[in-house]
Structure 1
Amino acid sequence: MSFLSFARFCFTCLFAVFWNAGAQGFELAAHKDRLFAYPAVLSSSDGGAYRVVDYQEMRDINGRDAVPERRVDGRYVSTGVRRAQQELALQTEAGTLRYFAVGKSRGASAIVLYLHGQGGNRRQGVNDFTFGGNFNRIKNLMAKSGGLYLSPDVADFEALGTRQIAALISHYAASSPGARVFVACGSMGGALCWRLAQDGPTVRQLGGLLLLGSMWNEAFLQSAAFAARVPVFFGHGSADRVFPVGKQEAFFRKIRSASGDYPARFVRFETGSHGTPIRMTDWRETLNWMLAER
């Protein structure tokens, strides 16, 4: 083979590699996937959209944490990501919003927000050592993938909080054109997820909603987000005493029956409690699924 032919061959191979990478779409880079993978799947239905995952407190808390529920074992965290973390404030028409940002503030590949529940604050979503290190993982996933992770305060779970979070989304979406925004809502934070689903300008930026041990809202079926087929993920503990799992499962099935191929997934953590989904949800699996859908 001549040098010219070889060069053409190499160029063709490289073109194919890059073209296929673009065709397959953007995915989050791996980070400690084996450690954060779901334990055994006990059952599955709806073509895999609904799964029951094995959860055991002795294994998944006591066996994972150096100090149960306070400090995870060091294997689960990579604290170097703190170099990409900033504490900031945004002036909005609804008041000052304080938040943490991790990753690229401009030109981000994707944006993830975590909205805390009652009694929480912006620090919860960037705590490296609580909830089994799962917040440290999402920070690393976004930083390694050229994305942005935001953990804001929530003023309330009604109109004021919605306006502030919508302003935060708009601010960073404008700095990262084309980046999809994924909003994860823990517990009462879910009220904001469902409110944002009704807001047309925000919905145009959304790549997905994640309800983690959270609530249901029938109005979603008439929302702009439902019409736009924004993917929804539900993570719920079977022993949740705040929001009964049966009601959240029924709502998931209502979404599915309203549109048989609607992009919704449900992971039930068997014997898990109210906070279990925040500890156990596989961020990378869930977000890559949503990225592929949008």
Structure 2
Amino acid sequence: MFFRWDWLRPQLNAPIVPTLGPVHPDALTVGIFEDILRAADTGDFLPYDKDQRWGGEKGEKVLREDVIHQPEHTLIPTLARSGHGVVKVFAYGSSDSVVREAAELAAKLASMHAVAGARVLRPLGPETTHPRGTRIQLKDFTTGPCPAPDGPVRPVTAWPATVQNTFAPFAETMAADGLAFLHTQVQAGRCGPVLATAVEDRIVGAIGPMEVRMDAIGRPQLMPQYFAVVPEARGQGLGRALWRAAMHWGQTHGAAYQLLQTEVGGPSDRLCRSEGLASLGFSRMTHV
């Protein structure tokens, strides 16, 4: 075993794991960190890796020979070669000096592997004041019902054909939010249903795909979705109706929880906070 849990556990201010992203706090064990090291050797997806649903190969792996694991801090670098490539160093530890050391490591490894990007990701606890970056939020489906929302929300395939035909141009308009990628997955039949809302026979918002998979400890998790509403349709409650429809779908299909990442202060962040989700902490990304 590479990691000492008595060293690592006090350093984990937020439940985020290299190459996997946020995990449920109950799944945050030494085993999951050991798993990502083994996956670095094989290049395979872990059985509970949310990215495996898209197929292909895992695009990010831990540089296990360059991991720094000490009593006061742990640095775990990863490498992704898509685009111009990026080295990302996950900096675990309470001292601010951990960011400086992580930045030096990221720059060195980016040069060694001839990639353009070098980043430091630092997890921060939920008590962080004046947070920036990404908030990690938990929706627990076991604490109460998620009623079906009012409003014009249904699976894309349940809308009349004339409305369904507007999904492609909507997805292209919202490509920056991942909807164009989602549309290609839907066309290929490689993902679960997508929920959509329409105004005047035109799709103006969508959330999906809707899928439930087992996490690292065998609990059913509602997978993350792409989520967008066109700017001209915002402020009408359609985003909230879509989100509540997704939560209702997850609960009725057996999910125990969902983890969400939202940009601090952004529309999705404000929506989730107003819906009473639990904040598990933050991740702050720094470009080196």
Asked whether the two chains share a fold, i.e. TM above 0.5, the reply is no
Higher strand content, 1 or 2: 2
Decide which structure has greater helix share. 1
Normalised by the size of structure 1, how large is the TM-score? 0.29
